[in-house]
């Protein structure tokens, strides 16, 4: 009988209640996202399209007033049911203002607004419809990016100004010529109101739409019953002359054992690449937090029972308990991902008289495992490629000489059959990258640098 029993088969389903993970002194990111200028320009196009859709649903206030007209005298007028028919936003200019934010400047935009008018003079009421065109609209605004308490990015408009070049109004309806007599007054009035309104609209859009969109960024992601991934921002997004660098916690944690990894994230330096729209950097630290969590959940423990063992020790039941002597270190060197586990193998005799076990011998096995890394629809995935030979050493034996050769062959067999294949299954699931709703990547390029995986891509 051959049996390898993973210890992690049953894990308590976690309470999803947010585990308080305060008191983290170190705020170095374990994961960074860089959106380059090219990426921001792409995002901007998307924002413009959405902004246009949003603007067409905006309601403008009614405009009313009095005016004195030659020959006729005072009339009161009322423009109502105003609706934006067309808003053409053009000549966008994005300015990266390092340490300040992002400046957006639009010039030569125009809009058309339609609606109804009504004029009262004594007992007479005239009405009709109108079409208004505003040309030469320029808008200048500054966006500030930050993070909120929950670690999500926020965007706010810190400054907005705009001006409108020229407004012309075309009135139709009964006796509209009367109104045309004072269209200049109306045009100036409307221009003032619109100038006030444009920045309100843009600010409103930013706080509602953009904020909601940014809220779709996952801040914690559950990987499986054992591990979750903390993708909260550890700092505000940094504007640089080349784009935007966004620092994420990038740390695996266990919700059932909410203790902290005993090592800290070192500071992170991204390679100076800016050709693609987005770069994502996964640190060696982040990958090692995953190993730490799975190791501490007891997932890296296997029990081997084998008929050869039974033959070797006929009067007792013996099993091999395979675990890790310490967390295996994963190292990223240019071009290579290597896992270097130090494996502890205990030969245990199961005593028939009690539930106790007696340690017969203890072996230490060293090996290096190469892992191939890839990106598969927004997930980082991997697979074991080569394992170096297994180096055995006897740590302790209560049996005198032990049959090392046999142990080696039993263990090597299991390494390939069980351990590598369950490791592969886990690696193939991989883990997700933090991307907001409806964002996917294409033309993905993956590089392995010292201490980090660097993924460059275009937005889809
Ligand atoms: C990476 O792996 C290849 C193939 O295993 C090896 O030839 C090369 O020396 C390794 N590079 C480093 C920096 O370890
Ligand atoms: C693993 O790799 C390290 C560094 O290249 C080397 O010193 C060590 O001997 C290797 N171990 C095994 C078991 O091959």
pLDDT tens digit sequence for 361-389: 898 988 898 999 999 888 999 998 877 88
For position 426, what pLDDT does the model report?
A: 87
Q: Which of 340, 363, 392 to mutate to test the pocket of ligand 2 (most atoms within 8 A of CB)?
A: 340
- CA dihedral of residues 26, 27, 33, 36 (deg, nearest 10): -120
Write out the two tokens for 290.
């995953």
For position 38, what pLDDT does the model report?
A: 92
User: Residue 401 Cα, ligand 2 centroid: separation in angstroms?
Assistant: 27
For position 399, what pLDDT does the model report?
A: 76
Whose atoms come closest to the Cα of 342: which ligand? 2
In this structure, the residues whose C-beta lies within 6 A of any atom of ligand 2 are: 340, 366-368, 388, 391
For position 354, what pLDDT does the model report?
A: 67
For position 22, what pLDDT does the model report?
A: 42
User: Residue 437 Cα, ligand 1 centroid: separation in angstroms?
Assistant: 38
3-state secondary structure of 52: helix
Residues contacting residue 440 through CB under 8 Å, at least 6 positions apart: 377, 378, 459, 460
User: Residue 328 Cα, ligand 2 centroid: separation in angstroms?
Assistant: 13
User: Residue 401 Cα, ligand 1 centroid: separation in angstroms?
Assistant: 37
User: Residue 386 Cα, ligand 1 centroid: separation in angstroms?
Assistant: 12
Asked if 312 contacts 406 with a C-beta cutoff of 8 angstroms, the reply is: yes
Write down all domains in the chain, each with its CATH number in brackets: 31-37+216-458 (3.15.20.10), 39-214 (3.15.10.10)
For position 191, what pLDDT does the model report?
A: 85
User: Residue 371 Cα, ligand 1 centroid: separation in angstroms?
Assistant: 12
What is the Cα–Cα distance from 375 to 281, expressed in whole angstroms? 12
Other Cβ atoms within 10 Å of 247 Cβ, number: 23
3-state secondary structure of 442: strand
Nearest CA to ligand 2 atom 6: 368
One DSSP character per residue, 348-409 reads: EEE-TTSS-EEEEEEEEEE--EEEEEEEETTEEEEEEEEEPPPEEEEEEESSSS--HHHHHH
Does the CB atom of residue 333 touch ligand 1 within 6 A?
A: yes
* φ/ψ (deg, to 5) at 378: 70, 15
User: Residue 147 Cα, ligand 1 centroid: separation in angstroms?
Assistant: 40
For position 57, what pLDDT does the model report?
A: 74
What is the Cα–Cα distance from 59 to 48, expressed in whole angstroms? 19
SS3 content of the chain, % helix, strand, coil (to 5): 20, 45, 30
For position 396, what pLDDT does the model report?
A: 86
- Torsion region of 399: left, alpha or beta (phi above 0 gives left; psi -120 to 50 gives alpha): alpha
Q: Which of 330, 334, 335, 387 to mutate to test the pocket of ligand 1 (most atoms within 8 A of CB)?
A: 335
Q: Which of 332, 368, 369 to mutate to test the pocket of ligand 2 (most atoms within 8 A of CB)?
A: 368
Nearest CA to ligand 1 atom 1: 336
| Atom of ligand 2 minimally distant from the CA of 367 | 13
Nearest CA to ligand 2 atom 1: 368
Nearest CA to ligand 2 atom 4: 368
Whose atoms come closest to the Cα of 336: which ligand? 1
**C-alpha dist (Å) from residue 388 to 170, 219, 406, 412:** 81, 37, 19, 11
Nearest CA to ligand 2 atom 7: 368
Write out the two tokens for 413.
């067999």
For position 179, what pLDDT does the model report?
A: 67
Asked if 251 contacts 230 with a C-beta cutoff of 8 angstroms, the reply is: yes
One DSSP character per residue, 280-316 reads: EEEEHHHHHHHHHHHHHTTTT-EEEE-HHHHHHSTTS
Low-confidence residues in the chain, pLDDT < 50: 1-24
Nearest CA to ligand 2 atom 12: 367
User: Residue 333 Cα, ligand 1 centroid: separation in angstroms?
Assistant: 8
Does the CB atom of residue 336 touch ligand 1 within 6 A?
A: yes
Does the CB atom of residue 334 touch ligand 1 within 6 A?
A: yes
Whose atoms come closest to the Cα of 448: which ligand? 1
Does the CB atom of residue 385 touch ligand 1 within 6 A?
A: no
| Atom of ligand 1 minimally distant from the CA of 334 | 13
User: Residue 366 Cα, ligand 2 centroid: separation in angstroms?
Assistant: 8
pLDDT tens digit sequence for 379-422: 999 998 877 888 888 888 887 777 778 778 877 877 777 778 88
What is the Cα–Cα distance from 171 to 174, expressed in whole angstroms? 10
């Amino acid at each position: 009988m051959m049996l390898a029993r993973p210890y992690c088969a049953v894990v308590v389903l976690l309470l999803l209640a947010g585990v308080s993970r305060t008191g983290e002194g170190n705020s170095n990111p374990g994961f960074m996202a860089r959106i380059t200028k090219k990426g921001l320009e792409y995002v901007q196009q998307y924002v413009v399209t959405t902004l246009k859709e949003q603007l067409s649903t905006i309601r403008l206030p009614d405009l009313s007033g009095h005016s004195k007209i030659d020959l006729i005298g005072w009339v009161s007028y009322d423009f109502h049911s105003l609706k934006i028919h067309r808003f053409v936003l053009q000549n966008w200019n994005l300015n990266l203002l390092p340490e300040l934010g992002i400046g957006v400047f639009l010039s030569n935009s125009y809009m058309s607004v339609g609606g109804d008018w009504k004029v009262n003079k004594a007992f007479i009421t005239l009405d009709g419809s109108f079409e208004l065109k505003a040309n030469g609209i320029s808008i200048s605004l500054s966006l500030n990016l930050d993070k909120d308490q929950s670690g999500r990015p926020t965007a706010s408009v810190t400054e907005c100004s705009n001006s409108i070049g020229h407004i012309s109004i075309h009135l139709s309806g009964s006796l509209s010529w009367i109104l045309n007599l004072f269209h200049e007054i109306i045009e100036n009035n409307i221009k003032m109101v619109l100038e006030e309104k444009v920045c309100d609209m843009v600010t409103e859009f930013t706080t509602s739409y953009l904020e909601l969109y940014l809220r779709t960024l996952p801040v914690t992601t559950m990987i499986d019953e054992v591990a979750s991934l903390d993708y909260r921002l550890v700092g505000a997004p940094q504007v640089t002359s080349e784009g935007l660098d966004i620092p994420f916690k990038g740390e695996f944690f266990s919700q059932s054992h909410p203790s902290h990894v005993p090592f800290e994230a070192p500071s992170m330096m991204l390679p100076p690449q800016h050709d693609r729209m987005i770069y994502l950097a996964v640190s060696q630290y982040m990958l090692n937090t995953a190993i730490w969590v799975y190791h501490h959940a007891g997932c890296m423990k296997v029990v081997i029972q084998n008929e050869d063992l039974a033959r070797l020790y006929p009067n007792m039941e013996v099993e091999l308990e395979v675990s890790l002597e310490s967390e295996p270190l994963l190292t990223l060197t240019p071009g290579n991902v290597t896992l270097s586990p130090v494996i502890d193998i205990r030969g245990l005799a199961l005593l028939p008289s009690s539930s106790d076990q007696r340690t017969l011998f203890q072996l230490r096995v060293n090996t290096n495992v190469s892992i191939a890394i890839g990106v598969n629809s927004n997930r980082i995935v991997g697979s074991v490629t080569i394992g170096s030979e297994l180096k055995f050493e006897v740590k302790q034996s209560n049996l005198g000489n032990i049959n090392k050769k046999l142990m080696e062959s039993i263990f090597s067999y299991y390494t390939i059959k069980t351990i590598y294949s369950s490791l592969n299954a886990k690696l193939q699931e991989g883990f997700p990258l933090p991307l907001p709703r409806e964002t996917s990547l294409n033309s993905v390029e993956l590089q392995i640098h010292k201490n980090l995986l660097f993924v460059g891509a275009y937005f889809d």
